[in-house]
Structure 1
Amino acid sequence: SAAALAIFSVAIALLVQRQTRPRVGDMTLTGGIPGQEEESSNMPSMEELSAMTPREAADRLFERAMREHEEGDFERASFFIDMGIQAYAAVPPDEINADAQFHIGLLRLLMGDSASARARAEAILAEEAEHLLGLLLASRAADFSGDAVMAEELRERERELVKSAGGIPDRPEYVSHRVLIERALEEESR
């Protein structure tokens, strides 16, 4: 309901404001938000959060979870991962695109749920078989599951797609996750 979402948003804002610290460097998993400067990377105020759509709030929680995880604060990351998953559950289904599926899959993977991450990757690839984020998420899930052969096959597909396109295509979701895509293209099987 709208009231529950409003209460949830206010609770998030209060909690996040107490725990916000400046962002340091690029985010390994997300590649950062295009055009965002360090000083503007703090979590939004209560007013800003209440004005956000459910998708915008979920994306901000995703970014925070990834940042905390990359900085090694796994307890805080776990908190924001749970909140992010709950926030994405409140997003209308028609707003869950490949980028949101990727975010949910990464959050699930960080929770140790490679099956759910793989399901999100499959959903992306069912819509577009050559989607880099779908392949990337599928390769991460395969790595996590211990299937090094499948992970490398998926990364090879990514490399071939990027090579045939003459580089990483200039799509918004690829720009947002450019650093992660570039690193995945360079990785060898774990």
Structure 2
Amino acid sequence: YGPGRAAPAPPAAVGPAGGTAAGPSPPDLTSMSSREAADRLFDRVMRAESADNSTEVVQFLPMAIAAYGLVETLDADGRFHWAVLHLMGQFNVEALENAEETLSQQPDHLFGLATAGDASLALGDSASAREYYRRWLDAYETEMAKNLVEYQEHEGVFPEMRATAEVLGRND
């Protein structure tokens, strides 16, 4: 997660489905809802990223991004997933659009603020990035008290988000 991570190589064209030298064949996505399939692909990309498996990231990142585009309605968690994938692929404008969609519905959502900050930073707009992260710091306690499912499911990202927020959000 975040702009400080090394970006994978640009997405390559994806060949026929099946296993790779790096892992087993993916599950049959046709038997899942579009959201379930997108989430499975997101999880696969994130596991590959954590394992520094750039080959698998390059293979599955375009599929994961496309899968979220097929979901009719995304909640804040789905838009967070999609924004993270866009950031990984260096599709920073799209990541910012996803984050801003979340913020239009939930102005203090921590994932919306963080991904908007990360996308702004990647786009070279450090003033906007600082503002998003200042808002993140201001909203943190209230948002965490809401005990949202997506915050629980992604609790591991908060230390990195907080560290980024403290550097950018308080650096006025």
Query: Which of the five TM-score ranges fits, normalised by the shorter chain?
Result: 0.7 to 0.9
Partner of 1:84: 64
Q: CA deviation at 1:16?
A: 7.2
Distance 2:102 2:143 in 1: 22
Distance 2:27 2:144 in 1: 38
- Secondary structure of 2:90's aligned partner: coil
For 1:77-156, what aligned pairs fall within 5 Å after superposition?
77-91=57-71, 93-94=72-73, 96-156=74-134
- Secondary structure of 1:170's aligned partner: coil
**Aligned partner (choices 19, 34, 52) of residue 15 of structure 1:** 19
- Secondary structure of 1:19's aligned partner: coil
Q: Identify, as 1 or 2, the structure richer in helix.
A: 1
Give ranges in structure 1 of 5+ residues lacking alignment: 1-10, 21-42
Confirm whether residue 61 of structure 1 aligns to residue 41 of structure 2.
Answer: yes
Give TM-score, length-normalised by structure 2.
0.76
- Secondary structure of 2:99's aligned partner: helix
Asked whether the equivalents of residues 117 and 138 of structure 1 are also in contact (C-alpha less than 8 Å), the reply is yes
Distance 1:81 1:185 in 2: 26
Give ranges in structure 2 of 5+ residues lacking alignment: 1-15
Distance 1:166 1:86 in 2: 30
Change (3 A) 1:75 1:168: farther
- Secondary structure of 1:15's aligned partner: coil
Partner of 2:150: 173
Asked whether the equivalents of residues 108 and 143 of structure 2 are also in contact (C-alpha less than 8 Å), the reply is no
**Percent identity of equivalent pairs:** 29
Change (3 A) 1:70 1:162: same
Letter in 2 for 1:112: Q
Root mean square deviation of aligned Cα: 2.5
Q: CA deviation at 1:182?
A: 2.9
Give TM-score, length-normalised by structure 1.
0.69
Change (3 A) 1:151 1:81: same
